[in-house]
Amino acid sequence: MTDISPSPKKPNASSPSSAEDIARQAIEDVQPDSAGKLLGITSEGEGSSTYTFAAQVRGYRGWEWQVVISGEDANPTLSEVALMPGDDALLAPAWIPWEERLQPGDLGDNDVLPVQDDDPRLVPGYVDSGDDELDDAAMPIGYGRERVLSAEGRDEAARRWAKGDYGPRSNRAKKAPAQCASCGFYLPLAGALKASFGVCANKLSADGHVVHAEYGCGAHSSVKPDYSDSEPADMYFDDSEYEIVGRRKNKRNKDDEQESSAN
């Protein structure tokens, strides 16, 4: 926003005489050729009025120049000039904290991503996380973690994984002949998520990815080839292309020809 509050000026003999002329000239002094048509005049009380002009400023679509004029009509005085956004103004996006702007894949090799102290996904290591296996390991032996995954963080991860490419609603899962829970390549996770998630160990499928137990693909360990509808192919010879090869005469045939010609 451009906000300029000049010292009160009174028109002289060479200056604009009307309040609108003074307001328009004030805008021209700030940025030439940027004052558009007069959009309206609003009374502010106590002898002041705001003159609103369309702003013809590059990059400020829908913005308005607002000029406050004080005094009587016969003796107008310039009080303030401001560039303000209108109802349909082009505005910068609302500020979003950096930790909320980050997306999966944004973290580079040399980047450091600090975690907020009040991150709801984590709780101190001595707090009951809701994961019995994690708590049994952490409390007796100290486990070495300052913070562990909270129930909220675990549920958030589970919802994200379930909605992802390796969840039960993905296109591949809907077309799969069987689910991961019954696949020999499925390695269930430990802890509270073991009933719903595991890791795929099939190098030809989702190798190394966390998959939902109800996810599935065409590489399920129980899938076997089906030959029931197959028929043997008919034998055929392709004689569309051939090569003429001359027969080599052996010595015996040559002698027979000479004997026949002598008779």
Task: Verify that 51 and 12 share a domain, yes or no.
Answer: yes
Has this prediction a pTM greater than 0.85?
A: no
Domain that holds residue 7: 2-85
| Weakest-pLDDT range from 10-24, 32-46, 105-119, 206-220 | 10-24
Say if CB 97 and CB 121 are below 8 A apart: no
The answer to whether position 255 is within a domain reads no
35 is a domain residue? yes
Collapsing DSSP to helix, strand or coil, 143 comes out as coil
One domain for residues 78 and 125: no
Three-class SS of residue 172?
Answer: helix
Distance (Å, rounded) from C-alpha 171 to C-alpha 164?
11
pLDDT, one tens digit per residue, over 223-263 is: 887 656 656 666 666 666 666 666 666 666 656 666 666 55
Domain membership flag for residue 70: yes
213 burial class (0-12, 13-18, 19+ CB within 10 angstroms)? buried
Answer yes or no: are the C-beta atoms of 87 and 77 closer than 8 Å: no
Are residues 75 and 25 located together in one domain of the fold? yes
Q: Please tell me the predicted confidence (pLDDT) of residue 63.
A: 95
Instruction: Kindly report the length of the chain.
Output: 263
What whole-number distance in Å separates Cα of residue 110 and Cα of residue 10? 62
Give the pLDDT confidence of 50-66 residue by residue, as tens digits.
Answer: 999 999 999 899 999 99
Q: How many domains does the chain have?
A: 3
Task: Please state the rounded mean pLDDT for residues 180-206.
Answer: 92
pLDDT value for 8: 44
Per DSSP, the residues of 135-195 read HHHHHHH--S-SEEE-HHHHHHHHHHHHHSTTSTTSHHHHH-SS-GGG-TTEEEPSGGGTT
Residues 14 and 69 in one domain: yes
Tell whether 129 and 173 lie within a shared domain.
Answer: no
User: 261 lies in a domain?
Assistant: no
Report residue 165 as tokens: 């490419």
Q: Is residue 58 part of a domain?
A: yes
55 domain-assigned: yes
Comparing 143 with 229, which gets the higher pLDDT?
Answer: 229
Measuring CA to CA, which residue among 147, 151, 143, 145 is closest to residue 118? Answer: 147
**Looking at the structure, do residues 185 and 151 belong to the same domain, yes or no?**
no
Distance from C-alpha of 114 to C-alpha of 98, rounded to nearest angstrom: 11
